[in-house]
């Protein structure tokens, strides 16, 4: 396989998680009597440009047939994040009725509705019909297509280049990142700004967040690699911010290569930090599998210890990262009999691979567990705060990444 960015032959494995079903392929009861499809889940690193990328597999298109659609507006924290972003960008870029804001992967309009409310014209790009419909009902024009160079050029030819192009949590999920980035350039007005948010590879490595690896997540990105991808497409990263979302994300600000704006000191500073953390050293990547295995072993040791002691452990949060962790560890309902999740669309279904049943959050209290394992560790404090009564009743809360932790002091 060749690197998806620089076409170098990929020689090094970053992480091999064996085989796993697609992380969002939640099962109905009747599916439990059918065979389940597993795909290899292997991630490689390019030693030329350091792009960390999932390996290609046969029949990859079958991965995306799962009918589960994520609606961004179900998370109140994410809505607040989007509102703050809209206000900050409107002020920083002096956006107004004469501007155009394009969002790639606009989902249900959770972000663009803020621009609509401020009378700033916008355009969403979203191939998923169910989420696009919700956005359109709020008055947001949506093109129901996948974004890439062809669409970017079509928008430019129609005179619809943008002052601001936003992409939140889409960049790591596009299969052809070079084509996508050339599309951004084509759709960007001279003097315009692109912002992209994506989980930062530096945090993934430092915090052993191997459970954020799943098939639909094609690229694991550093600022170094994103700068290189931008350069190749005629763009330049001129600023960068760190965000707490998804265990530590970057928001990069891009412009045309020849834009008059100077590159901020924050860019050089983050590049230096990445070098300091070994992101351009092969050893850093080669050490990762053993660190991920230690996390998996720690979880299994904990679950086996509680089972032997006759203690009951249940899980909270039927998220993609939970599926990666449980499937890699081979955890089944004998060790973890149920998982609770607030998303109604998941309740009554089963986790792919592990077949652990997903119940409404009330089941947490009803099952009187000794321990609650919070699978989305990034929201652990929030989950504990919502279940204060359970904690006061003696239930203990735990997370497994970057190592087994009991939240007795939280």
- Binding-site ranges for Zn ion (CB under 5 A): 3, 5-6, 8, 46, 48-49, 51
Residue 238 near residue 262, CB atoms below 8 Å: yes
Residues in the chain: 410
The DSSP H or E segment spanning 388 is: helix 388-392
- In whole angstroms, what is the distance from residue 333 CA to residue 201 CA? 32
Provide the 8-state DSSP code for 207: T
Closest CA to 238 of 182, 196, 177, 189: 196
Closest-CA residue to 223 (of 177, 286, 268)? 268
Query: Which is closer to Zn ion, CB of 53 or CB of 399?
Result: 53
The nearest distance, CB 3 to Zn ion, in angstroms, is: 3
Cβ proximity of 295 and 401 under 8 Å: yes
- Judged by beta carbon, residue 9 or residue 28, the one nearer Zn ion is 9
**Beta carbon nearer to Zn ion, 6 or 266:** 6
Q: Nearest-CA neighbor of 227 among 267, 190, 198, 194?
A: 267
To Zn ion, the closest distance from the beta carbon of 53 in angstroms equals 8
Task: Tell me which residue of 7, 18, 81, 107 sits closest to 47, measured CA to CA.
Answer: 7
Closest approach, Cβ 114 to Zn ion, in A, equals 36
- For Zn ion, give the closer residue by CB, 3 or 188: 3
97 Cβ neighbours under 8 A, 6+ residues apart:
119, 120, 121
CA 232 to chain centre: 24
Closest to Zn ion by CB, 50 or 115 = 50
Nearest approach in angstroms of CB 8 to Zn ion is: 5
Closest contact distance (angstroms) between CB of 178 and Zn ion is: 10
Closest CB 287 distance from Zn ion, rounded Å: 20
Q: How far is the CB of 36 from Zn ion (least distance, A)?
A: 33
Name the DSSP class of 19.
E
CB of 375 to Zn ion, least distance (A): 32
Task: Determine which helix (DSSP H) or strand (DSSP E) holds 204, and give its type and residue range.
Answer: helix 201-206
CB of 275 to Zn ion, least distance (A): 17
- CA–CA distance, 137 with 114 (Å, rounded to integer): 14
Q: Nearest approach, Cβ of 169 to Zn ion (angstroms)? A: 22
Q: Are 372 and 397 in contact (CB under 8 A)?
A: yes
Kindly report each contact of residues 93-100 with a partner whose C-beta sits within 8 Å and lies 24 or more positions away, as own/partner: 93/163, 93/164, 93/193, 95/120, 95/163, 95/164, 96/120, 97/121, 99/163, 99/164, 100/160, 100/161, 100/162, 100/163, 100/164, 100/189
Nearer to Zn ion, 106 or 222 (CB): 222
| Shorter beta-carbon distance to Zn ion: residue 24 or 219 | 219
* Nearest residue (CB) to Zn ion, 51 versus 400: 51
> Residue 51 or 162: which CB sits closer to Zn ion?
51
Q: Determine contact, residues 212/165, Cβ cutoff 8 Å.
A: no
Place of tokens 């209290």: 365
Which of residues 51 and 299 has its CB atom nearest to Zn ion in the complex?
51
């Amino acid at each position: 396989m060749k690197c998806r960015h620089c076409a170098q032959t990929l020689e090094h494995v970053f992480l091999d998680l064996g085989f796993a079903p697609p992380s969002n392929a939640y099962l109905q009861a009747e599916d439990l009597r059918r065979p389940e499809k597993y795909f290899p889940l292997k991630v490689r690193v390019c030693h030329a440009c350091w792009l960390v990328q999932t390996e290609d597999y046969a029949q990859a298109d079958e991965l995306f047939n799962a009918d589960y659609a994520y609606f961004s507006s179900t998370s109140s924290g994410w809505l607040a994040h989007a509102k703050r972003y809209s206000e900050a960008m409107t002020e920083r870029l002096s956006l107004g009725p004469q501007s155009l804001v394009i969002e790639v992967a606009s989902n249900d309009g959770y972000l663009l509705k803020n621009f609509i409310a401020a009378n700033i014209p916008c355009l969403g790009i979203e191939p998923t019909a169910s989420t696009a419909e919700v956005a359109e009902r709020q008055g947001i024009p949506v093109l129901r297509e996948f974004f890439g160079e062809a669409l970017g050029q079509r928008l430019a030819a129609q005179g619809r280049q943008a002052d601001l192009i936003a992409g939140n949590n889409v960049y790591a999920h596009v299969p052809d990142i070079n084509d996508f980035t050339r599309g951004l350039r084509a759709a960007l007005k001279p003097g315009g700004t692109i912002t992209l948010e994506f989980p930062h590879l530096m945090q993934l490595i430092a915090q052993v967040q191997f459970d954020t690896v799943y098939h639909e997540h094609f690229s694991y990105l550093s600022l170094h690699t994103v700068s290189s991808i931008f350069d190749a497409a005629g763009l330049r990263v001129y600023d960068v911010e760190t965000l707490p979302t998804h265990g530590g994300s970057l928001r990069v600000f891009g412009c045309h290569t020849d834009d008059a704006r100077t590159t901020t000191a924050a860019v050089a500073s983050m590049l230096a930090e990445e070098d300091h953390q070994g992101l351009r050293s092969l050893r850093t990547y080669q050490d990762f599998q053993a660190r991920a295995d230690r996390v998996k072993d720690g979880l299994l040791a904990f679950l086996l210890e509680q089972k032997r002691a006759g203690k009951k452990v249940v899980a909270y949060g039927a998220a993609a990262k939970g599926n990666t962790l449980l499937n890699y560890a081979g955890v089944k309902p004998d060790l973890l009999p149920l998982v609770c999740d607030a998303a109604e669309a998941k309740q009554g279904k089963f986790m792919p691979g592990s077949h652990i049943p997903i119940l409404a959050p009330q089941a947490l209290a009803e099952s009187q567990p000794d321990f609650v394992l919070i699978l989305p560790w990034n929201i652990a404090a929030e989950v504990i705060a919502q279940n204060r009564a359970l904690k006061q009743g003696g239930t203990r809360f735990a997370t497994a990444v970057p190592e087994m932790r009991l939240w007795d002091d939280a």
